[in-house]
Amino acid sequence: QLMESGGGSVQDGGSLKIACAVSGNLYSHYCMAWFRQIPGHEREGVATIASTGGTSYADSVKGRFTISGDKAKNTLYLAMNDLQPADTAIYYCAARGLGTYCTDEYATVVPDDYNFWGQGTQVTVSA
């Protein structure tokens, strides 16, 4: 129900925009988030978006990454600018179903709160 695309390799300082195709009403009725994971490390929350449109970001990406969505296309995006080698990871989109409208306080960065996951897309930033 979630499928990421758009990953790739860029140079330090470059930009990428990754996308997550979301099936059905998943996008409208769920909290959505982007996580990333480096092999051997825990999954890290990068950005979240609630049904209200409210967003939150990890301190490490504030001012560089933007989460957004296109409800007409049922697609979630993560625009990444000024990429750094430390941003190299597999990026996953995730959805949290509450059975109701997602308000800001439920758009967490706790991986266990999310019950739908994409397969991930690799982002590699070289120095």
Model pLDDT, residue 30: 86
For 45-96, how does the pLDDT look when each residue is reduced to its tens digit (9 = 90+)? 999 999 888 999 999 999 999 999 988 899 999 999 999 999 999 999 999 9
Q: How confident is the model at residue 7 (pLDDT cuts 50, 70, 90)?
A: very high
Model pLDDT, residue 78: 98
Q: List, in sequence order, every beta strand (DSSP E) within the chain.
A: 2-5, 8-11, 16-22, 30-37, 44-49, 55-57, 65-70, 75-80, 89-97, 116-117, 121-126
With a cut of 80, say whether residue 115 has pLDDT above it. Answer: yes
